[in-house]
Amino acid sequence: MEGSDPPPRPAMSAPTRKIVHIDMDAFYASVEQRDEPALRGKPIAVGGSGRRGVVMTASYEARRFGVHSAMPSARARRLCPDLLFVRPRFEAYKEASKVMRGVFKEYTSLVEPLSLDEAFLDVTSPLKGPPSATLIARQIKTAILERTGLTSSAGVASNKFLAKVASGMNKPDGLTVVTPGEAEAFIAALPIEKFFGVGPATAKRFKALGIRTGEDLRERSRPELVQHFGKAGHWYYRISRGIDDRPVSTSRERKSLSAERTFSDDLATLHDMDEKLSEIAEEVARRMAKCKLTGRTVTVKIKYHDFVIATRSRTVPSGISSTEDITAVARMLLHGEPPKRPVRLLGIGIAKLRETDSVGAQLVFDLPGEK
Ligand code: TTP
Ligand code: MG
């Protein structure tokens, strides 16, 4: 990784790190195919098959028909009439996840799990193995395959952002390395949707500004990005240059999650605020889905044009995670006392978080009586 390439940030930079991102291939579906030979080589979906069922993930055979995560099962069945639906078995996924983490811990104590099937590892100073992050990634993939019977994909780079994008580049069973020398071209060619923190709503805003790729992003000045995206503008400015100093953090029990937006023009009407609030809720929901969380306490943050900040919270009886549910609670909080002054920032936070693995099934499945 280090070779003779010039370091990306000559002055003041931390020594080049070696980050590996590992992500299992079609995780739940692969576990099901491993444990039930009749499912191997077949298009399968893990999820509920009933009327309101949702696909949690699909085998690669099913993806060829366009079936993917979060798709309503009815639509998946239309796309792929032979699709086999399988109920999730979280215990089996947790077991595989534990084995993977065991492999990671042999190589480094700096492991940051993002979900059951995904983790960042900092292997700058590994506990064992060859002095090459690429070779370590290969060994890890082999050990996971030997011990779980499952394939994974790895990304190797000098920071988390690049490693994560890289691991998705050659799925399944991929190993993609982005050296510091390749980073600039790699980022330039990336579609804007692939940038960390860019969901569908933000991608739309980028495109409205004519920003479709990393190269487009890099051409914009920091003040321009901050003007349009607030604090996140600084992040986009840096990330388009491959600068991501976030450490691999081993203690990631999340207490809360939030998103907020500063507006270039203050919002004066409740209608406009509602609209923005649902965009922010969409971002919160997307991030919760990524981390597979539900939450019970919703907080709305309002910053008025004079920079006075107010927050309002409500705790609901059971965990929520969808854009609709979060929007509904946030609007109720906003409407409880409609702002009488122009608003320059709105934010939504969610706390009392729980992993969906234990409760998610009820939320997405039709229970008894399914096919
Ligand atoms: P992912 O890593 O996003 O997907 P994947 O492992 O199934 O497929 P890929 O090869 O593209 O990585 O998610 C891991 C598991 O999390 C997935 O197998 C099922 C679950 N999951 C959900 O339950 N709901 C979702 O919306 C997503 C995206 C994943
Ligand atoms: Mg995966």
Span 39-63, pLDDT tens digits: 999 999 999 888 778 899 999 999 9
Contacts of 339 (CB under 8 A, 6+ apart): 270, 273, 302, 304
Contact between 282 and 201 under an 8 Å Cβ cutoff? The reply is: yes
For ligand 1, the distance from its centroid to the CA atom of residue 27, given in whole angstroms, is 6
Q: State the pTM of this model.
A: 0.70
Span 249-304, pLDDT tens digits: 876 566 789 999 989 889 999 999 999 999 999 999 999 998 888 999 999 999 99
Contacts of 38 (CB under 8 A, 6+ apart): none
Read off the tokens for 30.
Answer: 């692969």
For ligand 1, the distance from its centroid to the CA atom of residue 342, given in whole angstroms, is 41
For ligand 2, the distance from its centroid to the CA atom of residue 186, given in whole angstroms, is 22
Decide: 171 in ligand 1 pocket, CB within 6 A.
yes
Mutate to test the pocket of ligand 1, among 23, 25, 27 (most ligand atoms within 8 A of CB): 27
Question: Has 118 been annotated as catalytic?
Answer: yes
Q: What gap in Å lies between CA 18 and CA 163, rounded to an integer?
A: 9
Decide: 69 in ligand 1 pocket, CB within 6 A.
yes
Atom 10, ligand 1: residue with shortest CA distance: 25
**Ligand 1, closest atom to CA 289?**
26
Span 329-355, pLDDT tens digits: 999 999 999 999 999 999 999 998 887
Span 214-241, pLDDT tens digits: 999 999 999 999 999 888 899 999 999 9
